[in-house]
Structure 1
Amino acid sequence: MNNNKFKLRENDWRNGALVYQVLVDRFNPSSHLESKKGLYLYPKTLNDWHSLPKPGTFLEEHRYWSHELDFWGGDLNSLNERLEYIKHLGVDVLYLNPIFESLSNHKYDATNFLEISKEYGTKEDLKKLIQNVHAHDMKIMLDGVFNHVGVGNPMFQKALKHEGFRHFFDFNDSYPRGVRLWADAPSLPELNLEHEDVKNYIFKQDDSVIRTYIKMGIDGWRLDVAFDIGFDILSELRDYARKDKLDVMIVGEIWNYPEKWLKSIDGVMNFTFREITLRLLSGELSPHKAIHMLKDTIDDAGIEPILKSWNLLDNHDVARLKHLLPKLELQRLAQVMQFTLPGSPNLYYGTELGMDGANDPMNRAPMNWDLFNDKNETLKWTQSLISLHKRERSLKIGDFIAINADDLLCYMRITDKVEDTCIIAINPSKEDVSETVLLKDSRLMNYSNFKTVLGKAKPVTLLAGLMNFTLEPYGFVVLKPETKPQKSYTPYKRV
């Protein structure tokens, strides 16, 4: 086995990193809210921190939905005040939803990419946050929304009046509103990314948007609707970003099959893994079919970019985990997969505390800090998964071996060291399951003892590569081989 590849993986912060996603407006209330109230005038609304978001009405005059203009008052400084909490969780990477100057609360409608939205603070506040994140030995990534801008963007307003920037957009009388819009959202005109001037502005020039923030100290970009940007432009963008930081992380919001996209960027938000997980746990996919889908995805894309891809279950675009899978046992099985499959587990703020929420905007409620206490079982469970993922080398940087089974989902994560091996078995059914499987790793010794590092199963024995798992309904187990001598002897001394 190639020892060097695992050392290289260990030295790359992007492999298997724990990512924590934050909506700045909703994470921690500002202690200077009174002095900021003038920033939330109509059509915006400032809400009480303990109120929950709900769907609004369309404001034709502004071309926005009213719930897109509801605010709760968090900012970069109030986020900075909670970095100890994030660090204590075990987070490696803090990822912020967009912070660019814009009208909405979600900030996917930039009026100026090179300014921070005033509700959130200033560039100095961002620099202070970056410094503090790095002082806590974490990385920070921003959300890049480079496929489109907000309808109030001065470049677009000038283009409408034929005062310049016309070539930045795709105007066409055959379109309902005369210009190409992202997903036909009236507030989001798309950028003409094929044009060299637009490329220069977004990522090519030294003072381009992408490179300005990298020079400011951020460690990477999550690219919004990266599937709309296309393979070739994504490759260009990645290469220009690397001019300022070789190990910059470029991860794309890509709902497509990952294979070809991972030749253009470092990682994807792995919605394929997410769909396989949710469909397995809903009974739509058998374990046998699910493991083959996982294996195909990894084999086709290659393990290296999969290790850098983000394993997510929920985020600002989909319902929260608790809403998706109301049954606690199924939530936990989903999270076991999230933290043991190859990739970087992506935690959406508040999921670790058990926050609930249906689709947008209900999934974007302000952080419920009342849930943060020593009695919170969801928090304890999440911390145990984080600890497991950080402690077990194979879960961060290991190769993936699919285990063929009918009724259990089983796989291994392995490195150059047999003692790192983790064997994962999951029973997604409501029945007891006992099944014999073949562990395809010649280093695992006959009659080995195995220790349980998560979950539980009846005692197991390995004979000629075969092992029998017996798991209770919705049961799971993560095992490791005992490789140290009991007294003086171990069969593992030369493997």
Structure 2
Amino acid sequence: MTDAHPSPSYANERDRALAGQYERREADWRMGAVVYQAIVDRFAPATDLEAKRHLYPAPKTLRAWEETPVKGSYVEEVRVYSHEINFWGGDLASLRARLDHVVGLGVDVLYLNPICSSYTNHGYDAINYLEIAPWYGTRSDVAELADDLHDRGLKLVLDGVFNHLGRANPLFVEAASGPESLHRDWFDFGDQYPGGARSWMLAQNLPELVHENHAVTNYLWGRPDSVVRSYLRDGVDGWRLDVASDLGFRYLEDLTNAAHTEKPGSLTVGEIAPYGAEWNGPLDGVLSWNLRRILVETANGRLASGHAQRILARLFADGEYEHLLMSWVFVDNHDTPRLPDAVPDEAAQRLARVLQFTLPGSPNVYYGAEVGMTGGEDPEMRAPMRWDLLTEDNPWYAFTRALIGLRSQHRALRVGDLRWLDTEGLIGFERYTDHAADAVVVLVNPCEEPVTELVQLPDSKLMFTLVDALAPDRVIAPIQGMMEITLAPHECLVLVPRTQEPGGYSATKRVQ
């Protein structure tokens, strides 16, 4: 006998066209990942600092972990500022000893600021790309770190500084020796430049490379034994590219292709200062300064709600969406004041974090943000990790874990699409997939006064009662596709469906 009621498919035509899309995104570790950023020197103190002291010869200085970095004076002898050669002694071994903390946060990726051989503490002045700074360890230590992370389900991304290197790099020293030197055409020499060679932002310690020279690009990423490809073979999973827009579209595309050839599924994400839309494609993703400024200015009340939502909507409409999911979203890092210094109001800081973790992309957590570390302009924001603040009653620690937990629990926040809500005083959007129960509705009030609005839900499947994932006692029942919302100044809602009403009833029993 034939079953008169075969098992139905509750997907509509739109959903059937999306079959498999979100599953494919979920299978790509680069999309929607949570990234933890650490400066190795400042993350965890080495077990025996005295045994390492010889690695920091004068004028370098090894500081006590409890000291706070302060801006220094220019050291003409080495053409850097004194705070660039103050060290705190962290290394790859001490970082590995603290991996339980990183894993316990629930992040997906560990990103390290430059670790290759350099003169300064920040490492953006490479002396030898293919060697690790001796105060950090060796290439074997990097491979072992990658293995540790992979065993724990995490990926490793390194900082690639390929626009410029350090003045003490033997390649530059040889090139500067005279017009007939072997590497002369790797750099742009001329009397018009301070220090005699074109350098990044006129910093004489950072001479720029001439990428139009094929020997340069072959060395950096073209050859199988190049910098980019050899580290990928060592177990590294991707590269965050410093000042990527300085390299230009063509060379970023070449670098990305080389990385993918060496390791399919590896990541290139580039630091982009201008508007980022066109940089997606040559890169897998961008680290957008423009987006960071929008979030900080919105939190500080310098962008009105409607204006902020319009420019956010344009930013996400202009970029290719799956590249946006691979892009890193940051509100503070090693080049900015930490969030409490950039956004003084604590509720506004929470608003910035909520947007960082719910908009499309991969949120970048700068070490210490999870415990509420403060720090102003360079070098204050690069202070050693405050392990003394890591306590269960630290509200920022609880809040950061809650935001990371939201992303692990709600796949729409990781790989879902984006739909903007029609609002006036609030900023609102929905992250969604082809399943109604995945929906996440985000509403924030960046204003200095309470806002009450009737908000339309332009989602045909949202027949649920909605619960605030950050405050589960707050329940909102949409009526005929609309919600009446009142938010206090800087208050945030992250609404998720309550799929089963008391008694087990579900209005979506026949909706995917």
- TM norm structure 1: 0.97
Kindly indicate whether the alpha-carbon contact (under 8 Å) linking 2:35 and 2:108 is maintained by their aligned counterparts in 1. yes
Deviations 1:27-81 (A, max 9, x none): 0010121211101110100001100000001011111110000000000111010
Structure 2, unmatched stretches of 5+, are: 1-14
Shift of 1:250: 0.3
Q: Is residue 194 from structure 1 mapped to residue 212 from structure 2 by the alignment?
A: yes
Q: Is the 8 A contact 1:455 1:476 kept in 2?
A: no
Q: Distance in 1 between matches of 2:314 and 2:480?
A: 27
Tell me what 1:479 maps to.
Answer: 495
How far off is 1:458 after superposition?
6.6
Question: Deviation digits for residues 356-379 of structure 1, max 9, x if unmatched?
Answer: 000110000011111111221111
Q: For residue 199 of structure 1, what is the amino acid of its counterpart?
A: T
Q: Which residue of 2 aligns with 1:28?
A: 44
CA distance in 2, matches of 1:135, 1:229: 34
Does residue 311 of the first structure (1) align with residue 311 of the second (2)? no
Match of 2:405, SS state, is helix
Q: Give me the whole-angstrom Cα distance separating, in 1, the residues matched to 2:420 and 2:473.
A: 19
Equivalents in 1 of 2:423, 2:207: separation in Å? 49
Write out aligned runs for 1:251-270 (5 A): 251-270=269-288
- Give yes or no for the alignment of 1:360 onto 2:378: yes
Contact preservation (8 Å) 1:167, 1:192: yes
Please tell me whether residue 466 in structure 1 is matched to residue 470 in structure 2: no
CA contact (8 A) 2:305 2:424 kept: yes
The within-5 A match list for 1:20-169 is 20-162=36-178, 163-169=181-187
RMSD: 1.4
TM normalised by structure 2 equals 0.94
Q: 1:372 aligns with which of 385, 390, 413?
A: 390
Residue by residue over 1:245-280, the C-alpha shift from the partner in whole angstroms, topping out at 9 and shown as x without a partner, is 111010001111111000210111132222111111
Give the SS at the match of 2:196: coil
1:453 pairs with 2:469: yes
Q: Measure the CA separation in 2 of the matches of 1:409 and 1:137.
A: 35
Secondary structure, counterpart of 1:115 in structure 2: strand
3-state SS, counterpart of residue 35 of structure 1: helix
CA deviations over 1:163-220 (Å, ceiling 9, x no partner):
3101111112332332111110010100001111001000000000000100101000
Residue 5 of structure 2: aligned partner = none
**Secondary structure at the counterpart of residue 294 of structure 2:** helix
Distance change (3 Å), C-alpha of 1:20 and 1:488:
closer
1:425 aligns with 2:443: yes
Q: Name whichever of 369-378 and 335-344 sits farther off.
A: 369-378
Q: State the alpha-carbon separation in 2 of the partners of residues 350 and 488 from structure 1.
A: 43
Contact (CA 8 Å) 1:438, 1:466: kept in 2 or not? yes
Q: Secondary structure at the match of 2:292?
A: helix
Letter in 2 for 1:37: R
- 3-state SS of the aligned residue for 2:496? strand
Give yes or no for contact 1:484–1:492 (8 Å, CA) kept in 2.
Answer: no
Aligned partner of 2:12 in structure 1 is none
The equivalent position to 1:241 in structure 2, one of 245, 248, 259, is: 259
For 2:504 and 2:215, the matched residues in 1 are separated by 70
Give 3-state SS (helix, strand or coil) of 1:191's partner.
coil
Q: Secondary structure at the match of 1:257?
A: coil
Separation in structure 2 between the aligned mates of residue 313 and residue 353 of structure 1, nearest angstrom: 15
Distance 1:456 1:140 in 2: 34
Is this contact kept in 2: 1:133–1:139, CA < 8 A? yes
Query: SS in structure 2 opposite 1:462?
Result: coil
Match of 1:221 among 228, 236, 239: 239
Query: Higher mean Cα deviation, 55-64 or 369-378?
Result: 369-378
The aligned counterpart of 2:346 is: 328
- Could you tell me which runs of 5 or more consecutive residues in structure 1 were left unpaired when the two chains were aligned: none
Counterpart residue number, 1:231: 249
- Tell me by how many angstroms 1:487 deviates: 4.3
Q: What is residue 188 of structure 2 aligned with on the other side?
A: 170
Contact 2:301 2:448 in 1 (8 A): no
Q: Give the whole-Å Cα distance in 1 for the aligned partners of 2:505 and 2:203.
A: 68
| Letter of the structure 2 residue corresponding to residue 427 of structure 1 | N
Q: Counterpart of 1:17? A: 33
Displacement of 1:461 = 3.5
| Alignment check: 8 A CA contact 1:458 1:470 kept | no
Question: SS where residue 242 of structure 1 aligns?
Answer: helix
Aligned residues: 493
The answer to whether the 8 Å contact 1:457/1:470 transfers is no
| Worse-matched range after superposition: 15-24 or 467-476 | 467-476
Q: Does 2:400 align with 1:387?
A: no
CA distance in 1, matches of 2:82, 2:42: 17
CA distance in 1, matches of 2:506, 2:48: 63
Aligned equivalents of 2:429 and 2:369: distance in 1? Answer: 26
The DSSP-based 3-state class of the residue aligned with 1:435 is: strand
Q: Give the whole-Å Cα distance in 2 for the aligned partners of 1:494 and 1:485.
A: 15
1:389: how far off?
1.5
Matches of 1:494 and 1:483 in 2, distance apart? 12
Distance 1:457 1:292, change over 3 A: farther
SS at match of 1:479: strand
CA distance in 1, matches of 2:352, 2:505: 39
Letter of the structure 2 residue corresponding to residue 35 of structure 1: A
Confirm or deny: 8 A CA contact 2:305 2:447 kept in the other structure.
Answer: no
SS at match of 1:481: strand
The one of 305, 310, 313 equivalent to 1:295 is 313
1: CA distance, partners of 2:290 / 2:171: 36
Give the residue type in structure 1 aligned to 2:189. F
Q: Which residue of 1 aligns with 2:6?
A: none
Q: What is the rounded CA distance, in whole Å, between the counterparts of 2:174 and 2:56 in structure 1?
A: 26
Q: Structure 1 CA distance, aligned partners of 2:199 and 2:289?
A: 24
1:115-167, CA deviations, whole angstroms, 9 ceiling, x for partnerless residues?
00111111121122111111111000100000001000001000011331011
1:209 to 221, 227, 230: 227
User: Do the aligned partners of residues 174 and 106 (structure 1) sit closer, same or farther apart at CA in structure 2, a change above 3 Å counting?
Assistant: same
CA distance in 2, matches of 1:144, 1:459: 46
Q: Which residue of 2 aligns with 1:408?
A: 426
Check whether the contact 2:219–2:226 (CA below 8 A) recurs between aligned residues.
yes
- Please name the residue that 2:362 is paired with: 344
